[in-house]
Amino acid sequence: APSYNQQTPPQPRPQNPKPYTTRLEAPIYIAETPQGTSKTIAAFVGALLGFAFLVTLFALRAWFTPNRA
């Protein structure tokens, strides 16, 4: 089986990092970039969505369990 790494030259790595990362990489430089108020708005919306998700989970669990006498 021929190895393709010897036939093709190695690809040069990009100089500037892209603003998105793959699944295996931690988005560190995204978190360190100063976004201003958009970061706080995103955190607030995320907190509201998480809180609403927990409330709906608790309500559905209380709804589907039989009532306690």
In a domain, 60, yes or no: yes
CA–CA separation, 29 and 17 (whole Å): 9
At which residue do the structure tokens 């295996």 appear?
Answer: 24
pLDDT of 28 > 70? The answer is no
Q: Which residue has the higher pLDDT, 46 or 15?
A: 46
- Burial of 61: CB neighbours in 10 Å, binned 0-12, 13-18, 19+: exposed
Give the chain's domain count: 1
Banded model confidence at residue 65, pLDDT cuts 50, 70, 90 = confident
Say what the pTM is.
Answer: 0.39
What average pLDDT score do residues 29-34 get? Answer: 55
In a domain, 43, yes or no: yes
Q: Which domain holds residue 58?
A: 37-64
What average pLDDT score do residues 20-49 get? Answer: 71
pLDDT of 32 > 70? The answer is no
In a domain, 47, yes or no: yes
Backbone φ and ψ of 57, nearest 5°: -65, -45
